[in-house]
A and B are shown apart, each in its own frame.
Chain A
Amino acid sequence: MIHRFSYTAPTELTDLLALLETAGPGAKLLAGGTDLLVNIRNGLVKPNTVVDVKRIPEAHAIMSDNTKGLRIGWAVTINDILKNTDIASSYQLLQTCAHDLASYQVRNRATVVGNIVNASPCSDMAPALLCLDASIEIASSKAYRTVPVRQFFTGVKRTVLNPDEMVIGITIPIQSKGAKGKYRKLKRIQGHDLGIIGVAVAQVGDGMRIGVSSAAPTPVATGNLPLDISVSDAIAVVDALISPISDVRCTKEYRRFMVSEFTRRLLVEVRA
C-alpha cells in the first residue's frame, strides 16, 4: 500500500471513544479489514490514522440471555456467529445469512458490525438483522444511544453514525428468539460472490417478515405481515418496497423479477 497512516490499537473502550472524538474524520476504524484495507489499497480511502478495535476483550463477546435476547460485540466475526451453538438453536436466520457471506477466510475476519456499518446495499447480514428487529448500540465519549436497524441505514454507504460515534454492539430482542427463516442469495457462481439480490423470509412470533438486499439504496424489510398472507400479496408488498437499479451485475427488471420469485419460493419453504 502506498498511502501511509499511523496505527493504534486501544485496549479500553473509553480510550477508543476518546480517540475517536479527537481524531476527526481522518481516523478510520479497523475491525476485519476486508473492506477498509482493500479501499485503502485502491486509493478510495486515505485515513491518517487506522484505529484497530479488536484489542478490547468485550468486543468479541456473544451473549445469549433468556430475558434480554442476544448481544453481539463489535468485533464478533461471521465465523464466530456460525460456530455459536446458542445462535444455531435460537437465532438460526443469522447463521443462514452468515453462511452466504464471502469465503471461509473472509468470514474468519469480517465482522457483523462491519457488515452493517459499511452500509452496502448488498449486505448479507442486514436482511436477517432487519427481520429479527435488531437494535444497534451506538456510543461516543459523551453519549450512548440505540437505534433500530430499520433506521440505521440512510443511503448507499451512509448511516446515522456521527463522526465521533461507533457501533459497540447489536442486540436481537428475545421476541425474535426461535424465529424460523431462510435466506436466498442470487449469485453467478455457487461459491464466493457478491449478491445480485438477496431475500430473507422469516416467521417471527405471529408475523411474517421479508428482508431484501441489493434491490434498493439500503437493505430493506417489510413490517409484520400476517402469517397466512398470500404469495401474491407478499410479493406486492415487497415489490413496493424495492427500487432496484441496473448495473454491471444485472438489469433492474431482472432484479425486480428475482426478488418476487425468491419471495414466492421462500414463503413456501418457510411455511413447509
Chain B
Amino acid sequence: MNKEFVPRITSFLCKWCSYTGADLAGTSRLQYSASIIPIQVMCSSRVDPVFLLKAYLSGSDGVLLGGCHPGDCHYETGNYHTRRRFAIVREVFESLGLESDRLRLSWISASEGPKFARIANEFTEEIRLLGENPTRKSIFL
C-alpha cells in the first residue's frame, strides 16, 4: 500500500449538530485529518441511502454521516430515520460484497468539537488501513 495514501472521506454533516460541532473543533483549533471533506445538509435524515452508495461508488474512500444525538434532533425524529436507514445500507453493502466498514454513522452534538476531531482522526486512520476504495478501479454504470 502506498504510504502517501491520503484518503478522501465524504462527510455528510447535519447543520444543527455535527456541522456546528465541526465548526467548534476548528474554532477550538483542534487539529484533525484533512481527509474529512464536509458537506452540510439540513438533517442527517436528508441523506438518502442512495447518497451513501453513490458517494462510495464515485470513489470516496470513506463516507461519514454525522447527526444529532438520539433525542436531540433539531427536527425531532430525523436521526431515528437515519439510524434505521443506515443499518439497512450497511446490510445492503455487505450483501453486495462492498466494504461496509467504509461507512460510519456518528452522533456529534454542536458542543462536541473534541469528539468531532477524535472521530475524524479515528475514521481516517481506519480508512488508511483499509486502503484506497477498491471500486475506483472498477467500472460502474
Chain A complexes with chain B = no
